[in-house]
Chain A
Amino acid sequence: MNGCVADLSNKLYAYGTRHTEEMVRDLSQRAYEYRIHVLRMVYGRKSGHIGGAFSIAEILTALYFHQLRLDSDNPGWDDRDRLVFSKGHACAMLYTVLAHRGYFAVDELPTFRALNSRLQGHPEPAKTPGVEVAAGPLGHGVAIGAGMALAARMAGSRRKIYVVLGDGELNSGVIWEGLLLGAKFGLDNLTVIVDYNGVQQTGTTKHIMPTEPITDKWASFNWHVIEIHGHNMAAILDALDLADEIHGRPVVIIARTTKGKGVSFMEHMPQWHGGIPSEQQFEQALVELREGVEQWQV
C-alpha cells in the first residue's frame, strides 16, 4: 500500500456530552480517513461500492464514536444500542468504522470480499463482529428496527435503535410497511437516518423514482422529521441529540448528502455506485481525500 493513513486515536466521545469544536474537527477528519480505507478496499479487490459508502462517512462516524452505547469487547451485550445497517452494499464503510471502533483489527480490512474473509460482500452477522443483521436486499431496515424497538420497550430498556437507510431503498414497499409499524406503536426509541444522496444505481432518484417531497411523506406517516446537511458533523450530532428528546413518535433524520463525497469526479455520478477506479483515478482520489483530511487539521 502506498501512502500512509494518519495514526488515528479512535477516541470515543461519551454519549450525552455536548459536542465541542475540537470533537467536530476530529470526527470530520476521521470520516475522511475512513474514506481512504474504503477506497483502498474497493480498489484492492476491484469490487465493492464506493459512492454510497462515501456519503455515509460522517453519519457512521458520529454514531459509532459518540452516539451508540456499545461494548466492542462484548458485542452481544443485551443492553447495547442497535444499529441496523440497511443499505448493505455500502458495508465497506461500516467495516472500516467497526474496525476502528475495536470490533476487529484494522489490518483485516484489506480482506474485504476475498475468499475466506469475515468481511463479506454484504454484511453477515454470524461472520462479522458488530454486525446486527444481514443486509443487501434493500428495504428491510425500518421494519427490523421496529421489531428491535418493540423488544427494547418490552424489556424496559433505555437502549436505542438506529437504522441507516439509503434513499434508493425508499422505492421498496416494505420500507413503508415499516413506517406504518413504527408510527402505530409510537416507537420513540427508534431513529432512522436516511442517507439522501439523490443517486441510485442507474441514475438520480429524481429520474428513477421520485421520492420528494420526502419530509412531507415521513411526516404524514406520523414520524418526527429532522432535515440536515449530512456531511456537517455538528449538524449530525445536533440532530442525534434532538432525536433523543422526541417522545411518542419515531424520528427520521433526512440527511442531505452527496454520493461519492470527497472525490470530485465521483460526486453525484451514478456510475460510482459500483464503479471501480483505474490506477490513475485511484491516485487522483487519494490526493483529494488526503486534502479532505488536511482541511480538518489545525
Chain B
Amino acid sequence: MASLIRSPFGQPIMMRKSYGDALVELGHARNDVVVLSADVSSSDYSHMFEQSFPDRFFNVGIAEPALVDAAVGLTNSGLIPIVNTFAFLIATRALEMVRTHLCYGQANVKLAGAYAGLSDSFDGPTHHSITDIAILRSLPRMTIVVPADPLSVTRLLPQIAAWEGPVYFRLCRNEVPQIYVDNCQPQIGKGITLVDGDDATIVACGVLVARSLQAAELLRREGVYSRVVDMHTIKPLDVELVASCARETGAIVTAEEHSIVGGLGGAIAECLAGVCPAPLERVGLNDTFAECGPYLDLLDKYGMSVEAIASAVRRALKRKSTAGQLENHLEVTQNA
C-alpha cells in the first residue's frame, strides 16, 4: 500500500506551475480544448497555454460572469472550455452563471479555481476561498475534484476534460510536496487509501493530504494506527469507501483547507449519517474568516496543523471507545 507514497516526500513544486504544464500537455493532446481567463493568467499560469496556443485562448477581462457565459457559448459548439480565475470568484460572483447554464443547462464547461483555500495567503480573506466546495457541492450535476499534489494535477486534468458535464478543479497557488510515486493513477470518483490502519480513518483532500500522512506517522509512534484516504473527488463521493472505512475503523476524521461547514467534512457527515454512523471530527477553518500571513503559518493558526489533525484523531478515538462502552452498557442493561 505504502508504495503509492514517496518517502520522504519529493521536492515541493508550485501547484499552479504543474497546472500550467498540464494545461499545455492537454492542449497538445486535444485540439477541442479552449482556455478562458479573466485577466489573471499570470497568476493561475494559464498564460502557459496562451503562449502555446494563442488562437485557443481568450482573455475576457475582469468579468467573471461573462467569463462563464462565453464558455457556455463555446461549448454549445462542441468545444471543451476550461475557465480560469480565482476560486472564490467562480463560487461567488459567477455562481449564477454556473448554476443556470452548467448545472441546470448542462453546458459542458470545466472550472479551474486558482488560489483556493488560504493559498493566496498574503492577499487576505477577500482572496481566500474557504466556502467554494460547500457552495458548488450543493449544485445538482456538479463534479468537484481537489488534487493533493503536482502528479494528481497532471493525471486528473485530462480526465476532467473527458468527463461529461461541469467539473470544478480546485487548485492551490503554492509549493506543495510531491506525495505520489509516478505509477499512481488517480481516477475521478475513487478515493485512494494511502496508509492502512484499523483505529481510525483520516479522510483528506488537497494540501491537507500531506499533513494527514504526517499526522498518521505521529500517531503511529503513539501506537495509534490510522488509515489515510485521499478523497480527491468530493462529488460524486466514493460512498463505498467511506462506508468501509467507517465499518472497519469505527471513527473518521476529515481534513480540508476549507470551512468545516459544507465541504469535505459536510459531505462525509451526510454520507455517514446515511450509510454507517460513526464518530466524526472535522478539521478545517472553524466557521471563520482567516487573516493575511505566511501560508503554512495560516494553516497552523486556523486549525489545520499536523498536530490539530492528530488531536482530532485522538478525540474521535475517545468518542469511539465511549460509544463502545455505552453500547456494552446498554447490552448489559437489556440482558439483565
Contact = CB atoms under 8 A, between A and B. Distances in A.
A147 B75 CA distance: 8
A228 interface: no
Interface stretch (A10-18, A64-72, A125-133, A192-200): A125-133
B79 A154 contact: yes
A124 interface: yes
B66 A178 contact: yes
Given A125-B105, A181-B70, A132 B65 contact: no
A146 B70 contact: yes
Given A126-B106, A133-B101, A149 B65 contact: no
Interface string A133-151: 1101101100111111111
A144 B73 contact: yes
Given A78-B78, A154-B79, A133 B70 contact: no
A185 B77 CA distance: 18
A140 B60 contact: no
Contact of A148 (B55, B76, B106): B76
B56 interface: yes
B96 interface: yes
Nearest to A82: B76
Chain A interface residue count: which class?
A: 20 to 34
A148 B74 contact: yes
User: How many B residues touch the partner, as a band?
Assistant: 20 to 34
A3 interface: no
A152 B77 CA distance: 8
Given A82-B76, A154-B56, A155-B77, A144 B70 contact: yes
B105 A151 contact: no
B63 A177 contact: yes
A180 interface: yes
A24 interface: no
A194 to B, nearest CB: 17
Interface in A172-191: 173-174, 177-178, 180-181, 184-185
Interface string B29-44: 0000010000000000
Contacts of A133: 72-73, 76, 101, 105, 107
B187 interface: no
A144 B100 contact: no
A90 B72 CA distance: 21
B98 to A, nearest CB: 12
A150 B56 contact: no
B175 interface: no
B73 A124 contact: no
Nearest to B77: A151
Given A133-B105, A133-B107, A150 B74 contact: yes
Mostly, the B contact residues are helix
Nearest to A180: B61
B9 interface: no
Given A125-B105, A146-B70, A147-B70, A177 B76 contact: no
B65 A144 contact: no
A150 B100 contact: no
Contacts of A174: 63, 65-66, 69, 97
A8 B268 CA distance: 58
B27 to A, nearest CB: 14
Contacts of A152: 77
A147 B77 CA distance: 9
Interface in B87-109: 96-97, 100-101, 104-107
Contact of B73 (A134, A139, A147): A147
Contacts of B66: 143, 146, 174, 177-178, 180-181
B295 interface: no
Nearest to B71: A147
B60 A181 contact: yes
A161 B63 CA distance: 21
A177 B58 CA distance: 14
B73 A150 contact: yes
Given A125-B106, A126-B106, A173 B70 contact: no
A224 B173 CA distance: 42
Contacts of B56: 154
Contacts of A132: 76
A155 B74 CA distance: 11
A259 B105 CA distance: 28
Interface of A: 78, 82, 84, 124-126, 132-134, 136-137, 139-140, 143-152, 154-155, 161, 173-174, 177-178, 180-181, 184-185
Closest 9 A/B residue pairs (Cβ)? A147-B73, A134-B105, A151-B77, A143-B69, A177-B66, A147-B70, A148-B73, A177-B63, A143-B66
6 contacts: A124-B105, A144-B73, A147-B76, A151-B76, A174-B63, A181-B61
Given A133-B72, A181-B63, 5 more contacts: A144-B69, A145-B73, A147-B73, A147-B74, A177-B66
